[in-house]
Amino acid sequence: MKSEFILRTESLSVSFGGLTALNRVDFEMREGEIQAVIGPNGAGKTTLFNVLSGNLRPTEGRVVFKGEDITGLPPYEVCRRGLSKTFQKTSIFPDLTVFENVRLGAHTGHGTGNPILRSASSDRAVVEKVEELLLMGGLQDQKDQPAGNLSHGDQRLLEILIGISTRPELLLLDEPSAGLSAKETRYITQWIKELSQTTIRNIVIVEHDMDVVTELADSVCVLNYGEVLCRGTVGEVKCNPQVQDVYLGRPV
């Protein structure tokens, strides 16, 4: 049955001193699904992401990715094993060009040959992949601009492009719509949906905007005070009275 889950955690706990951020969380992610993690502020969503990506070592428990224990591996090892994360607060290389932002990640996923004796821009496989990704994000006309010059919306797109440039099998999206207008949010939601159909099948998404969750998620996991409150399809979760109490509010 193990192979059914691409990612799962076994009674994962994280405490900061006396504060328990995650308490015995069993998170499960099926092959080929988009799963949303929701919950009120301080529920432990970002902590969970940080443990999954290797930024934070859990106090207890294990993280199993593709049947392999990755608990406590540093982020670059987790990334090389095929798990990539984007940041809630945009994290790009602002002084480097848009092209190079994506190229740096693509080198991890597609790079071949000696890393010192050749020019970074001479690896055809990498360059083609970068061009393809930039086209996908509609950023090809701005590829020679410093990434810091892009609009906030385009920086959010670039953030995700960097995330998928490493050729991950699983992508963790931390609030991709953060700071976007309603119109931009609709655009990036559709864009992620297409992405999930063409490029990356397995996505875990932390999101506050329930419209985005409804549009994208196959299943939802609700966290509250560091524990899994419930899980199910979007419909099931929305009707759950407990979830309504702590997060969504009761429909009038």
Partner 1 sequence: MSSEPSSHRFTWWPLLVIGLFLVVAPHLMDRYPRYVLTEVIMWGLFALGFDIIFGKAGLLNFGMSSFFALGAYGFVYGVQYVYPSVWLGLASGMMVAFVFSLVSGWIVTRFSSHYFVVFTIVISMILFLLAMNLRVVTGADEGINIRLPDLGILGWHFSLRSPFTKYYLILGVAAVAFLGVRRFFDSPLGRAVVAVRENEERARMIGYNTAYLRLVAYTLSGTVAGLAGTLYPILNSSTNAELFFWILSGKAVLWTVVGGAGTLWGAFLGAALLVTAEDVFSSWLVNFYPILVGILLIAIIQLAPKGILGTLFAALAGRRAAHEAGGGS
Q: Which residues bind partner 1 (CB under 8 A)?
A: 53, 55, 74-76, 79-80, 84-85, 87, 91-97, 99-100, 103-105, 107-109, 111, 115-121, 123, 141, 144-146, 149, 162-163, 165-166
> Which residues, in sequence order, are CB contacts of 125 under 8 Å at separation 6+?
110, 111, 112
Cβ proximity to partner 1: between 118 and 194 the closer is 118
CB of 235 to partner 1, least distance (A): 34
Cβ proximity to partner 1: between 121 and 233 the closer is 121
Query: Please, are residues 196 and 216 in contact by the beta-carbon 8 Å criterion?
Result: yes
For the chain, the maximum distance between any two Cα atoms, rounded to a whole number of angstroms, is 66
Cβ proximity to partner 1: between 107 and 129 the closer is 107
CB of 160 to partner 1, least distance (A): 12
Cα distance between residue 236 and residue 219, in whole Å: 9
CB of 66 to partner 1, least distance (A): 16
- 3-class SS of residue 1: coil
Cβ proximity to partner 1: between 40 and 75 the closer is 75
Cα distance between residue 133 and residue 137, in whole Å: 6
CB of 3 to partner 1, least distance (A): 25
**Which residue, among 211, 166, 171, has the nearest Cα to 188 in the 3D structure?**
211
Residue with tokens 């670059």: 76
